[in-house]
Homo-oligomer: A and B are copies of this chain.
């Protein structure tokens, strides 16, 4: 039983004449191969990566499990090749998700003039060049009646530095209102220590990835994204909310040729600094309150 995934916050959707992403009941995600060389590049990456014995287990867990490729038949009988992956949200109820494209630049050093020009324009229009990453999309669970806060993709991409700071706080806020209210009321970041902090929180996972990126010289992860996910209902109850970081979208991965991926690593370090600051602010705030009581 295949259906359209509910929790995709960025990336490609179905359009006329294509079959979009699908999920099944057994926890698999069917990602359509993009028609040009990107689709085959991503499938080739997954094949190579899944059999690469040099990837330590504590790093492999950041990547979706790869089940192969499969041709899917649409209702009109047309055939569409898909990459079959682990559905990262299948075991989650109402996941809160953020998609962050990492890197100050989204093109490889051997890209063509035209491709560089296109990517550089986008990297300058968004926060990529300034911050080393850009938020590509997010959904934050509010409650069962209101569903999710999920701003339009184009609005998210127009974020500036202050918006990004705000979104990292809002992502872990307990007081999200369904309707528009002044933003400063909506970002108490109350869940930060439960989601970003702790030995299994998002920051700890980012630091684990960072240590690998300081050393690995096999791949350059151009234009890849990190997904942050957690279950907000658990976080609100004070339970550990199953916070996870995953790395996705490998259509532009290139060979590292013995050089570290300094573009991804730099962006990752910048992201770590932003998350650390939200966490630091909240812990300072807590200490102040304890001091007052």
Contacts and interface: CB of A to CB of B under 8 A. Distances in A.
B109 A273 contact: no
Given A265-B269, A266-B263, A269-B265, A129 B104 contact: no
A262 B269 contact: yes
A182 interface: no
A270 B259 CA distance: 7
Most buried by B among A130, A161, A266, A269: A266
Interface in A114-137: 116, 120, 124, 129-132
A265 to B, nearest CB: 5
A260 interface: yes
Contacts of A131: 259, 262
A269 B210 CA distance: 11
Interface string A245-271: 000000000000111101101110110
Chain A interface size band reads 20 to 34
A116, A265, A272, most chain B CB atoms within 10 A: A265
Contacts of A90: none
A259 B109 contact: no
B265 A260 contact: no
A208 interface: no
A215 interface: yes
A260 to B, nearest CB: 5
Given A215-B273, A217-B273, A273-B217, A262 B161 contact: no
A132 B269 contact: no
Interface string A191-211: 000000000000000000000
A82 interface: no
Contact of A105 (B105, B215, B272): B105
B105 A259 contact: no
A163 interface: no
Contacts of A259: 130-132, 161, 270, 273
Interface string A81-98: 000000000000000000
A24 interface: no
A284 interface: no
5 contacts: A104-B105, A161-B259, A259-B273, A260-B270, A266-B267
Given A109-B129, A217-B273, A262-B270, 6 more contacts: A104-B262, A104-B266, A116-B120, A120-B120, A161-B259, A260-B270
